[in-house]
């Protein structure tokens, strides 16, 4: 008899939860890193430039996504190191249990399948062997498809995203990794770094559309200053590629990435597939 | 005395130069090529072979040492395999690991893309992707591509889709590929990059 109000309450709670989950980030006055901002939120004044936050404006064809990664700074490295220490402490704590399980497995196998090879003894935990989120994956951005800044055309949709200030590099699209050479750019606090359509332009040229919507005219906008960025790991196991050479920015000597601003070769890091080897 | 000194220095230089070349440092720990047997590369192409040169081929670059070729192939293999630290190339685990760091708008897209690709196209797509990645990577390093028959190709190559070959099998195949890549220049027609 009195179940109706309870049901209504539950329904209201459920709807509230749904609303909270789907509410645009722009509803909050403060933007967080990775929040995609819409033109309506800017026009209504719900979102204003935050001096502690950086912003990236980019144009790309509909249906496309790009991935940007942040060059690890001291803070990122410290967080990564802290995670490694935590993971090592956990692994050391669990090690006696791992050994005990292994001994049980070995004893069982010897009894039931004496001809089968025995599993190797678990290696003692080391800092080098613990698995934590890599530094370059800690502040990554995936922009495209969802929550565009404003309505565009099939070949040109604008996006505005709030980010942690720092240096970002173009890691590729959802199918391609620019792991053999790409470009990086700085994002300054309180400013919109305008990439325009530069990243997806096959032959970068001055004719690339760098205009920003009128609604952003009051925001401090600066064009992205691209510079060469060296090789990096293919984190998402997509097709290996590299950015085309850009005069004055990026070129190659075979697979060595050259910073065209200085004419110097960028160091070649040792790239690894850290997939667990099958022995 | 002086003449004797310079004569000794010259002979020393004569012997040391090739030795230094032989001891070229390998980033990826190249094995001693003396322990490897050059795979057979000569075959009479059938019409069927010609249809499969996008799958069955080998790389070669002139004036390249074994160590250099080995390092190049290992680097391209690492990139093509993907450096998913969560083992097994499982993109969903990267997604799960990345989520607590507030990158839901970030890595998830790429991870979902990779996971969806696995679910939709499966292992064959992964094998094709590996071939494309190896061709791109070795192409950037200025290696050229030459044709092979299926049977000869299988003797020193492997394909990987979802799974991963045993490490010893992989490393031996990669070493043999490096031996071929740094060996005598092929006389057969070069394939398009």
Per-residue pLDDT of B16-72, as tens digits, reads 444 444 457 899 999 999 999 999 999 999 998 889 999 999 999 999 999 999 999
Q: Give the C-alpha separation, B75 to A272, whole Å.
A: 7
Q: Give the C-alpha separation, A225 to A184, whole Å.
A: 8
Please report the pLDDT score of residue A270 as a whole number: 82
Percent of chain A clearing pLDDT 70 (strictly above): 85
Does the structure show a pLDDT above 50 at B14? no
Please report the pLDDT score of residue A134 as a whole number: 86
CA distances to A96, B56, B107, B114 from A91, in Å: 9, 44, 26, 29
Does the structure show a pLDDT above 60 at B2? no
Q: Which candidate in B104, B112, B133 is best for mutational testing of the A interface (most A CBs within 10 A)?
A: B133
Please report the pLDDT score of residue B96 as a whole number: 44
How high does pLDDT run on average in chain A? Answer: 86
Model pLDDT for residues A92-150, shown as the tens digit of each residue: 999 999 999 999 999 999 999 998 888 889 999 998 888 888 888 899 899 988 899 99
Residue B111 forms contact with A (CB below 8 Å): yes
> Which residues of chain A neighbour B97 with C-beta distances below 8 Å?
133
In a domain, B11, yes or no: yes
Does the structure show a pLDDT above 50 at B98? no
Cα–Cα–Cα angle for A38, A175, B174, nearest 5°? 150
Whole-structure pTM value: 0.80
In a domain, B193, yes or no: no
> What is the least distance, in Å, from the CA of B135 to any CA of chain A?
9
Please report the pLDDT score of residue B111 as a whole number: 53
Please report the pLDDT score of residue A202 as a whole number: 54
Please report the pLDDT score of residue B82 as a whole number: 80
Which domain covers residue B51, as residue numbers?
2-181
Residue B66 neighbours by CB distance under 10 Å: 22
Please report the pLDDT score of residue B119 as a whole number: 64
> Which residues of chain A neighbour B140 with C-beta distances below 8 Å?
180, 242, 252, 254-255
Q: B191 has which bridge partners?
A: B145
Structural tokens at position A118: 């025995």
Lowest mean pLDDT among A171-185, A246-260, B41-55, B119-133: B119-133
Higher pLDDT, A154 or A96: A96
Structural tokens at position B128: 């094709």
Domain map of chain A by residue range? 21-72+138-265, 74-132
Instruction: Work out the angle between the directed axes of helices B66-81 and B167-181 (0-180°, nearest 10).
Output: 130
Please report the pLDDT score of residue B183 as a whole number: 95
Model pLDDT for residues A194-247, shown as the tens digit of each residue: 999 888 765 555 567 788 999 999 999 999 999 999 999 998 888 999 999 999
- The structural domain count of chain B equals 1
DSSP type of residue A117 = P
Inspect the interface and report whether the beta carbons of A238 and B104 lie closer than 8 Å.
Answer: no
Residue B130 forms contact with A (CB below 8 Å): no
Q: Which candidate in B29, B74, B85, B98 is best for mutational testing of the A interface (most A CBs within 10 A)?
A: B85
Closest Cα in chain A to B113: A174
């Amino acid at each position: 008899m009195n179940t109706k109000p309870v049901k209504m309450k539950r329904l209201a709670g459920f709807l509230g939860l749904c609303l909270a989950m789907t509410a645009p980030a722009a509803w909050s006055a403060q933007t967080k890193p990775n929040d995609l901002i819409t033109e309506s939120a800017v026009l209504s004044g719900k979102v204003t430039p935050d001096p502690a936050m950086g912003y990236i404006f980019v144009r790309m064809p509909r249906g496309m996504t790009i991935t940007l990664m942040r060059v690890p700074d001291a803070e990122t490295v410290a967080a990564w190191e802290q995670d490694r220490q935590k993971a090592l402490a956990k692994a050391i704590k669990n090690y006696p249990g791992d050994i005990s399980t292994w001994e049980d497995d070995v004893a069982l196998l010897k009894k039931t399948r004496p001809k089968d090879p025995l599993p190797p003894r678990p290696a003692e935990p080391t800092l080098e062997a613990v698995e934590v989120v890599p530094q370059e994956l800690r502040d990554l951005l995936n922009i495209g498809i969802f929550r565009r800044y404003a309505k565009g055309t099939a070949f040109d949709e604008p996006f505005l995203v709030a980010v942690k200030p720092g240096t970002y590099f173009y890691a590729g699209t959802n199918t391609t990794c620019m792991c053999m050479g790409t470009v990086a750019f700085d994002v300054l606090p309180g400013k919109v770094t305008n990439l325009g359509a530069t990243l997806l332009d096959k032959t970068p040229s001055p004719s690339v559309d760098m205009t920003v919507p009128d609604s952003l005219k009051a925001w401090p906008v600066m064009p992205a200053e691209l510079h060469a960025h060296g090789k990096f790991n293919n984190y998402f196991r997509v097709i290996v590629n590299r950015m085309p050479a850009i005069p004055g920015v990026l070129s190659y000597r075979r697979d060595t990435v050259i910073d065209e601003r200085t004419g110097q070769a960028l160091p070649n890091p040792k790239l690894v597939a850290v997939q667990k080897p099958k022995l | 005395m002086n003449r004797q000194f310079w004569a000794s220095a010259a002979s020393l230089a004569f012997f040391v130069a090739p030795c230094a070349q032989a001891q070229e440092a390998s980033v990826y720990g190249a094995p001693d090529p003396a322990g490897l047997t050059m795979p057979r590369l000569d075959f009479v192409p059938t019409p069927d072979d010609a249809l499969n040169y996008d799958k069955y081929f080998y790389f070669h670059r002139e004036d390249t040492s074994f160590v250099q070729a080995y390092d190049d192939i290992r680097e391209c293999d690492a990139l093509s395999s993907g450096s998913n630290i969560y083992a097994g190339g499982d993109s969903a685990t990267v997604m799960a690991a990345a989520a607590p760091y507030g990158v839901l708008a970030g890595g998830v897209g790429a991870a979902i893309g990779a996971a969806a690709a696995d679910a939709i196209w499966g292992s064959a797509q992964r094998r094709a992707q590996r071939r494309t990645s190896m061709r791109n990577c070795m192409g950037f390093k200025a290696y050229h591509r030459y044709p092979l028959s299926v049977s000869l190709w299988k003797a020193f190559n492997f394909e990987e889709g979802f799974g991963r070959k045993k490490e010893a099998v992989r490393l031996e195949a990669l070493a043999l590929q490096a031996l071929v890549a740094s060996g005598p220049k092929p006389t057969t027609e070069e394939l398009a990059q």
